[in-house]
Structure 1
């Protein structure tokens, strides 16, 4: 599946909560089978590097200033302190993922053999989507391995494969800087925006969520995200729409309404501005003939 994409300009400036990760005392790798009813919008960051494979579920993946759709088989490598989250589609059913986390200093040693890993981890500061579907199977093998030494060996072989730039593509436009992650008000507004994008959502409602006047809210939101609330909401709707264009044969006008646009004309104009083509052209390019 080709992901629908848009850029949330300066999204790495959005305040992310800090996730405290308890290391595995028996291994440098923390391997978790994450299964839950759904992924909520939980914008967060942590010093550990993370490799996440989605096994079940669909929705939107947020990494720095990148927002893309995700589905089973989606595999990404996320650098240290890079803000990110996944959010499930409403009513999309339960989700499952394999998550591998580690501190870069545990694997980058003062020996020539690990110099390539340091370069890879720097590139991961922008987030990397893994292009080779075969590497998802390698992640499953790592998770199933009972021997910690054998697991580490498998993981190092996987990282070696990821060092090839053709194996991945960058997600965010720039690596994240260390940020103030205490802005719970912004996280609350973003959760409202991303969870309710399919319905009519006004600036006034978002302002009430933030406890601000509409005028004050518009200025505040732009200062923190680099874009207007209306522009951010429209871009989220385009990401939702892009996947429906690929995965369904529903009429474009119906998809536009389902994704929160008031008219097909408004949708076409916004889609062309953010994606560089019309919805019909996007569907034709990405749908097998």
Structure 2
């Protein structure tokens, strides 16, 4: 699948914010350097973010990280019914829109973590938060100068302070993981990515973490809320999704590139995690 590299039109601000009303959203599969915060005022349809596919509706609030492929597309009803409309507010900004060192300050740690987590794409679920952010985005549109920066930081602070979120793309797709306060887990994750195309044994991963096998299993499940085996399959399937979307390898080649020695096992794990088989998943993306 071809991904369009978009350039966000520069404005006289350090960021871009606008409201868009049109008969329907029908974007191409694209990415851009800027992070994207989008609020769906009105509209329903299908959203693709990385290897995630979901139905969106009015009231959805999402933050999409830098260079994460995505598209928003309204259902066919919007193309046929002139009484329907799509309305969104979109905010684009780069990670360093206030300078390269601004978010390195201790006071900015929550927002810095938010930007890191956005690599996978984040959906915000709290209704009170969504109501606050949507009104602040409306207020932000005409603001200039210091007040615009102040409003922007208020929005980011509110987003960074909530825990009621879910991630869109899987870690295997993004090749990045947000692991708070754990160099040990970071080393394990990088080891998994480096060796994804071959069989990975539990004892070698435990050694990377400088733990015995049983202590490592307990440590990993406590921190990640899943077993290492579950995590490994999620990463493998996430990477498989990326390869399937790119459509450069056959499904058989994807299977072995992701470390599975059996097509049957690959299909079973893929369907368990994604809900459909690899061929149907690839067709869904290519058709859109």
* Structure 2 counterparts to residues 163-174 of structure 1, below 5 A: 163-164=160-161, 166-174=163-171
Corresponding position of 1:94: 85
For the pair 1:81 / 2:67, whether they are aligned, the reply is yes
Equivalent positions of 1:118-129 (< 5 A) are 118-129=112-123
C-alpha separation in 2, matches of 1:59 and 1:169: 19
Residue aligning to 2:11: 24
Distance 1:234 1:28, change over 3 A: closer
How far did residue 41 of structure 1 move? 4.4
Take 2:93 and 2:248, find their aligned partners in 1: how far apart are those partners? 38
What RMSD in Å do the two structures reach over aligned CA positions? 3.0
Equivalent in 60, 65, 72 of residue 58 of structure 2: 72
Q: TM-score, normalised by structure 2?
A: 0.56
- Say which structure, 1 or 2, has more relative contact order (CA 8 Å, 6+ apart): 1
Could you say if the C-alpha distance between residues 220 and 41 of structure 1 is closer, same or farther in structure 2, counting changes exceeding 3 Å? farther
- The aligned residue for residue 157 of structure 2 is 160
Per-residue CA shift, 1:212-270, capped at 9, x if unaligned? xxxxxx98564789974434447999xxxxxxxxxxxxxxxxxxxxxxxxxxxxxxxxx
List alignment gaps of at least 5 residues for structure 1.
1-13, 179-217, 238-289
Of 106, 112, 117, the residue aligned with 1:112 is 106
Contact 2:125 2:164 survives alignment (8 Å): yes
Aligned residues: 184
Supply the distance in 2 between the matched residues of 1:141 and 1:161 (Cα, whole angstroms): 10
- The answer as to whether partners of 1:162 and 1:168 remain within 8 angstroms in 2 is no
Using the size of structure 1 for normalisation, the TM-score is: 0.56
Which one is further off, 15-24 or 221-230? 221-230
Task: Answer yes or no: is the 8 Å Cα contact 2:15–2:93 preserved in 1.
Answer: yes
How big is each residue's C-alpha offset from its partner over 1:32-65, in whole Å with a ceiling of 9 and x where there is no partner?
Answer: 1122221114110000011000111100111111
| Structure 1 residue 72, shift from structure 2 partner | 0.6
Partner Cα distance (2:135, 2:6) in 1? 24
167 and 160 in structure 1: CA distance in 2 versus 1, 3 angstrom threshold: farther
Q: Note the residue ranges of structure 2 that are not aligned, 5 or more in a row.
A: 79-83, 177-246, 259-276
In structure 1, the partner of 2:219 is none
Paired residues of 2:23 and 2:85 also in contact (CA < 8 A): yes
Aligned with residue 48 of structure 1, among 29, 34, 39: 34
Give the Å deviation of 1:170.
0.8
Q: Give SS of 1:154's match.
A: helix
Q: Which residue of 1 aligns with 2:21?
A: 35
Q: Is the 8 A contact 1:43 1:85 kept in 2?
A: yes
Asked whether the equivalents of residues 135 and 158 of structure 1 are also in contact (C-alpha less than 8 Å), the reply is no
Cα gap change, 1:177 to 1:47, in 2 (>3 Å): farther
- CA deviations 1:155-179 (Å, max 9, x no partner) are 212211222351321111126369x
Describe the shift of the 1:177–1:18 C-alpha distance in structure 2 as closer, same or farther (beyond 3 A).
farther
| Counterpart residue number, 1:176 | 174
